[in-house]
Structure 1
Amino acid sequence: MTIRLVLAGCGNMGYAMLAGWLKSAKLEPSAVFVVEPNAELRQRAKHLGCRATADAAGIPADAVPDLVVIAVKPQVIREVTAQYKRFGDGRTSFLSIAAGTPVATFEEILGELAPVIRCMPNTPAAIGKGMMVVFSNPLVSDDVRRFVAELLSASGVVTTIDDEGLMDAVTAVSGSGPAYVFHFIEALTVAAEKAGLPTETAKLLAMQTVFGAASLASESGEEPGVLRQQVTSPNGTTAAALAVLMGGDRLTKLVTEAVEAARLRSIELGK
């Protein structure tokens, strides 16, 4: 059987992406070979119909995959990537979804012929609602770029950047961004409870309001500022609340400070 893709790591993100590829028929299970040392995680890959092994040595000796996807934690990235050095002759491309690990690290390990793609996904990719940002080294062919974009589209929206240095900003905005939104839901829930609403009602109102507002912003075609103005009647309840959030650019400054802190930490972790 032909192996088109090797997935190195079948944890939460790797498994979610794999399930998306198969569900959307972007890949057939027979075209995927999974390498996962954890027996339980390896078994669930087999349940999807994929072949799986505990380490890279289990990949057939004559295999030349189109793509090796590195989906492991940054702490073990060097150790894991080194196991695939035999595919570094230029015929196989590599896609990494490990946060903070630069393309240069993979080039150092795999050799100067390896086409390398770096992707920063976020956790909503697990339900097909993610944001994936991609950077490729010059060795990646147009066909491979299209193939990878097609695969990643099963997990959400895909865009590219030409300057890898911007990946730290990407990490700070869309990589860490879901946590900011989750915390806003938490804060809105607390505020709702303090306003007298029962806990379950407060949770429902906070979560559905954020979901509905984000969906409207995505689907309406209007700028978020226009949508905000449409909700805000002069001297009304929304205006009173926004006077608190927007007074002195309070919320914008706070979010900007938070993103900058995340960006600087991303730079530190990548060294």
Structure 2
Amino acid sequence: MFFRRAPYDGMDTSLRWHDGVSMSSFWIVGCGTMAGAMVAGWRRANALPDGLLAIRPSGRPVDGVATVTAIPGNGEPTTFLLGIKPQKLDEVAPLAEPRVGPHTRLISILAGVELASLRARFPRAGSILRAMPNLPVSEGCGVVALVGEGGSARAAEPLFAPLGHVHLARDEAEFAAVGALAGAGPAYVARFVAALAKAGVARGLDPDVVARIALHTVLGTALMAETHGESMDSLARRVASPNGTTEAGLAVLDSDGALDRLVARTLAAAARRGQELAAAARG
């Protein structure tokens, strides 16, 4: 079993109670890789939410955050963030639902689980929204897509602003598209950096040296584009001299749209998996 219902263990989490409701409190159930990156980003920006409580069955501590192994047996937090795997939703929802009432804003970072599916499992929630962060939120330079019921996404924008760029999606279709791009994007960029490094090794460079060179090449390119607001096409043209070495390499990437088609297939695969998760949650 992933979570058990248990009485609150008395740990001081700076919660204030009024008529059985915990005021100014923020519970995260399942503080794994992505939710942990969000906590790291908030901590880095000195913007940790008030009364933050991490609920982890392992009991493994979250740096700077009160941590318990089970969902508290009483209280209603002002914010309840679902940070579990989508496949665990139906195991965790019955245990979490008693704590998610009309005073609670429910935030889900579960890939593919739609607002209607969340509302079906948490009918008493005051508001429900979905967030799709990516791992660089830990450094304050990530992307967070938001979509929610009514104006809940816009109301939550200040909460996520310390983590990087916040995109308010018009609907869940746009939210899913941004998630496939930005949510999964760091993994694809990491693969490209690794491919650059492997190619450098094949050209006789030392693996440690070429790994640093490949990483700083990508970092510098991103920083230059961000600083000057330059498009990627413009930047590529500036680097490539006519009939030069860079242009010869670009000809390989651009041949028959090979790179564009590869990336499009990659994002399509991620989107299909999101649709499968959505269908499973609806079912």
Q: What TM-score does the superposition give when structure 1 sets the normalisation length? A: 0.86
Give the direction of change, closer, same or farther, for the CA distance of 1:68–1:28 in structure 2 (3 Å limit).
closer
Cα distance in structure 2, aligned partners of 1:27 and 1:122: 18
2-structure distance, mates of 1:156, 1:232? 31
Cα-Cα RMSD: 2.1
Distance 2:120 2:246 in 1: 54
Residue of 57, 60, 82 corresponding to 1:37: 57
Q: Deviations over 1:110-131 (max 9, x none)?
A: 1165411101111222332221
Candidates 15, 22, 30, aligned match of 1:9: 30
Residues 87 and 262 (structure 1), Cα distance of their counterparts in 2 relative to 1, 3 Å cut: same
Q: For the Cα contact (< 8 Å) 1:35–1:55, is it kept in 2?
A: yes
1:13–1:123 CA contact under 8 A, matched in 2 = yes
2:84 is equivalent to residue 72 of structure 1:
yes
Report the equivalent of 2:164. 156
Amino acid at match of 1:69: L
Query: Residue 77 of structure 2 aligns to a residue in which SS?
Result: coil
Q: Deviations over 1:52-87 (max 9, x none)?
A: 3322234xx3x3322111111111122223323234
Match of 1:178 among 176, 182, 186: 186
Question: Aligned pair 1:120/2:132, yes or no?
Answer: yes
My pick for the range that moved more, 223-232 or 12-21, is: 12-21
1:152 and 1:28, CA in 2 relative to 1: closer, same or farther beyond 3 A? Answer: closer
Please name the residue that 2:39 is paired with. 18
Q: Cα gap change, 1:136/1:35 in structure 2, threshold over 3 Å: closer, same or farther?
A: same
In structure 2, distance between residues paired with 1:28 and 1:94:
14
**Do the aligned partners of residues 238 and 19 (structure 1) sit closer, same or farther apart at CA in structure 2, a change above 3 Å counting?**
closer
CA contact (8 A) 2:77 2:100 kept: no
Matched, 1:53 2:68: yes
Q: Is the 8 A contact 2:109 2:132 kept in 1?
A: yes
TM-score by length of 2: 0.83
Secondary structure of the corresponding residue to residue 134 of structure 1: strand
Distance in 2 (CA, whole Å) between partners of 1:171 and 1:92 is: 25
Q: Contact 1:168 / 1:264 at 8 angstroms: preserved in 2? A: no
Which of the numbers 107, 116, 123 marks the counterpart of 1:104?
Answer: 116
Residue segments in structure 1 that go unaligned for 5+ positions in a row? none
SS in 2 for 1:75: helix
Distance in 1 between residues matched to 2:92 and 2:52, nearest whole Å: 18
- Deviations along 1:15-49, one digit per CA (max 9) or x if unpaired, are 332233244232366x222222212x2xx23x51x
Matches of 1:145 and 1:8 in 2, distance apart?
A: 23
Secondary structure of the 1:270 match is helix
Aligned-partner residue type, residue 110 of structure 2: A
Question: Could you say which residue in structure 1 is the equivalent of 2:226?
Answer: 218
Distance 1:235 1:165, change over 3 A: same
Aligned counterpart, 1:255 = 263
Aligned length: 258
* Structure 1 range deviating more: 215-224 or 76-85: 76-85
Q: Percent identity?
A: 32
Q: Which runs of 5+ in 2 are unaligned?
A: 1-14, 17-23
How far off is 1:93 after superposition?
0.7
Answering whether residue 149 of structure 2 is matched by residue 137 of structure 1, we say yes
Quick check: 2:28–2:80 contact (8 Å CA) kept in 1? Answer: yes
Whole-angstrom CA distance in 2 between matches of 1:51 and 1:258: 39
C-alpha separation in 1, matches of 2:210 and 2:126: 52
Instruction: State the secondary structure of the residue aligned to 1:79.
Output: helix
TM-aligned CA deviation for residue 210 of structure 1 = 1.1
